[in-house]
Amino acid sequence: MKFSKVLIIPGVFLFAALLALVAAFSSVNVIERVSKAAVEQALILGGQDWANVHTDGLQLVLSGMAPTESDRFRAISIAGGEVDSSRVIDQMEVPNAAGIEPPRFSVEILRNDGGISMIGLIPNATDREALNARVRRIAPEKNVADLLETADYDVPENWSSALDFALVALERLPRAKISMDASRVTIEAIADSAEQRTTWERDLARAAPGGLRVAMNISAPRPVITPFTTRFVIDDQGARFDACTAGTEAGRVKIVAAGIASGVKGRPTCTIGLGVPSPDWPDAVSRGVRAVREMGAGTITFSDADVTLVAPASVEQQNFDRVVGELEADLPDVFSLHATKTQAESTEGEGRPEFSATLSPEGQVQLRGRLGDEQQRTITESVARARFGMDKVYMAARLDENLPRGWSVRVLAAVEALSYLDNGVAIVQPELVELRGKTGDPNANTEISRLLSEKLGEAQDYRVNVSYDEALDPIASLPSPEECVAMINETIAGSKITFAPGSVEIEASAAATIDKIADVLRDCAEVPMEIGGHTDSQGSEELNKALSQQRANSVLNALLARRILTSNIVAHGYGEEVPIADNDTEAGREANRRIEFRLISQRELDGEPLIEGTPYDGPLGDIRPRPRPTAADAEDTAEADETGDEGVPPEDEEYVAGDDGPPEGMDAETAAALAPEDDVEDAAAEGATEPTGDEAPAPETANTEPGTDETDDGATQAEEVAETTEGEDPDAADETASADEETTNETAANAADETPGEGVDETTETETVSEEALSPPTVVHPELEGVRAPPRPEREG
């Protein structure tokens, strides 16, 4: 009994401990299940169902991939609201922030008579002050509203070039909306005339940088068209519009759709203009086009309210009568129909009159056939000479008094129509006037049809078989900016531009090369480019820099003397900074002494700072040619080399724009034929008006290698080095010589344009320079006729 009492007491305590342990484990399990369920439900209700919840004792562990950092924080807050926050363990992950895409940078610029406003998002690295300064220069008297926001992300590729082109377009267009991003620039603008619109589109296309998509929608006032003409033809060459005009966009769509339904291929051109004779014009023309289709061949011409339908002899008389009757009934009352059916052509005999005018590709015109009398022959020859040139016409027509009535009018109309072609023939017969040939004007067919309709009158048949040849188009055949520079550098590679020894004067042997460059530049008048002067490494860096600048100026002045507009060209001397060969060999030094042309941006042409990053530190003051200084004003010349000439600000040129895109609501074929083109090609850059004057003289150097194409650029230093010990620095020798002559306050650049003090005195005393030789030449450019370079200052003493 005593033993049992001893065991009972510990047993009771042990049982109680086990019971407490079981109760504790049970409580923990219950708390875990309840807490987990409560937290999971709260996360689902809070929209954070991505989070996973599991328990570890009394701790709740949250895991999973949080969409954002804010979602992760919200999940922790929700869990902490259900249980003690100290029990929540965060094992969630968040995607790497570096994977977030940058925002889309874009700018929308509006310009009108009230000012300019800019709205959008730009990179933080964009130089905002330079951007605003450039915009203010575009419209200095207008208000500029800067509503741009910035974001600190990397600058997108091509952002700078796209923004630069947008500002070039803004400067051209006084009323415009320009939207741009790094890959595309969209331009909407209003022009004053159709010619201005066309020129704007051409110039902006040429100015657009490569790889940038450009979309233009430039509208212009509708031209006044008289007579209001549309001509539709179906012959052995197929269906086509020789001329097409409409009063509204909806009318244009209706007319072109009728043509496409009748067999017209491609994208017909139909001009929208003023002067439509009736609101029913689209219905009348569409009905006339269908009438020709029903006959299977023929022509119909609408000239104002006069309608002429001509059917060939192959059309059956019964079909012809039916079509004419239905057309007369369908045409509105204001239109007057004249219908004729040609007779089968008989074999030509001696008595069948004919006149022909033939234009060769070289511009020579031969007039043959029959004319009524001597007066008619004289008038015809005079008209031809006025159209084609006094020495371009050969008259070989004979006289015939028995010609049909109105023969002279038909001949003169044919000769005038022939002037629209680059080569071809005009044939006049009693029943027909026919024009065949090639032209570089895409609108020639319309102009010729309008002319013949007006000159020949109603019920007269004519045929226009003129094809457009892009190679003859003076605008389409212009070289691209890249081709311009490539042709110039190819010319220089074949025959270098050489200079007289120790001088910046271009040698006479290089005149042919300059002439060839001038010929190329006449077709590249608006392409911004740079003339770069380069030297070898002999001599001091400062002297080489000055010499290369003066030689580049000499080339620019030589082009100006050949009447080349140089407002789009800058001259810059690089000295020895950009070698293309090894300066340790004579062949390498010869290759490095060169003149090169390269394309530049409009900002480089204007000497403006870059829009993004640090301010532009390229050539500013030395981009304009300077007049030749005299022997007495060397110091003034040196100062001019530092500051450059002040160019005359360019006058804004006026340009012209294109028609609106077709409206919607057409079938797929018609819409494809009418769809306007979004992307437009290359433009012209503006520049400052070039100053007058001839080349600046070279620093007084001696040529150590007279047999080379160009002067050894460091000749002066070479002589000084020969007088020093071997291995002595030539620049040090220069500095020593300058110190001995008490000119240590002058910079190395000024020393390149000055002779040391003793030399100046000696030259002034011994050298005799005529007034005529020192006077700058008169510039004979049409815009600068009569303008002379500034007079040289009077000699002192």
Q: Specify the pLDDT at position 352.
A: 78
Cis ω on the peptide bond leading into residue 697 (within 30° of 0)? no
Q: Specify the pLDDT at position 704.
A: 38
The packing angle between helices 407-418 and 444-456, to 10°, is: 170
Q: Count how many Cα atoms sit within 13 Å of the Cα of residue 474 in the half-sphere of its side chain.
A: 5
CB 174, CB 217: distance < 8 Å: no
Q: Specify the pLDDT at position 539.
A: 83
Return d(Cα 414, Cα 648) in angstroms, integer: 48
What amino acid occupies position 68? T
Sheet holding 569-575, edge to edge: 569-575, 529-534, 594-599
3-state class (DSSP) for residue 731: helix
3-state class (DSSP) for residue 333: coil
Q: Specify the pLDDT at position 502.
A: 65
Q: Specify the pLDDT at position 527.
A: 85
Q: Specify the pLDDT at position 774.
A: 35
Question: For 583-627, how does the pLDDT look when each residue is reduced to its tens digit (9 = 90+)?
Answer: 889 889 888 889 999 888 766 666 654 444 333 333 333 333 333
Share the mean pLDDT of the chain. 76
The first and second tokens of residue 408, run together, are: 């002279």
Sheet holding 184-190, edge to edge: 143-151, 115-123, 106-112, 176-181, 184-190, 213-219
- Of the chain, the percentage scoring pLDDT greater than 70 comes to 72
Q: Specify the pLDDT at position 400.
A: 86
CB 337, CB 324: distance < 8 Å: yes
36 burial type by CB count under 10 A (0-12 exposed, 13-18 middle, 19+ buried): middle
Distances (CA, A) of 513 to 488, 518, 596, 599: 9, 9, 13, 19
DSSP code, position 424: E
Enumerate long-range contacts of 733-737, CB under 8 Å, 24 or more apart.
Answer: 734/540
Q: Specify the pLDDT at position 426.
A: 94
Return d(Cα 161, Cα 639) in angstroms, integer: 34
CB 445, CB 436: distance < 8 Å: no
CB 566, CB 638: distance < 8 Å: no
Q: Specify the pLDDT at position 99.
A: 56
Q: Specify the pLDDT at position 307.
A: 93
Q: Specify the pLDDT at position 358.
A: 94
pLDDT along the chain (797 residues), means of 10: 65 76 73 84 87 83 87 88 86 72 90 92 91 89 90 90 92 93 93 85 84 89 88 92 92 94 90 91 95 94 92 90 92 91 61 88 91 91 92 89 89 94 92 90 86 81 86 76 89 87 83 92 86 89 90 93 88 91 89 89 59 38 36 41 38 37 43 42 36 39 40 41 40 41 40 39 35 37 39 41
Q: Specify the pLDDT at position 211.
A: 81
Q: Specify the pLDDT at position 501.
A: 66
Q: Specify the pLDDT at position 723.
A: 41
Determine the distance from the C-alpha atom of residue 751 to the mean position of all C-alpha atoms in its chain, rounded to a whole number.
Answer: 42
Return d(Cα 388, Cα 419) in angstroms, integer: 7
Q: 184 pairs with which residues across the strands?
A: 213
Return d(Cα 287, Cα 249) in angstroms, integer: 18
* Domains recognised in the chain with CATH numbers: 2-98 (3.30.1340.30), 106-219 (3.40.1520.20), 229-341 (3.40.1520), 355-468 (3.40.1520.20), 481-651+689-766 (3.30.1330.60)
Q: Specify the pLDDT at position 5.
A: 63
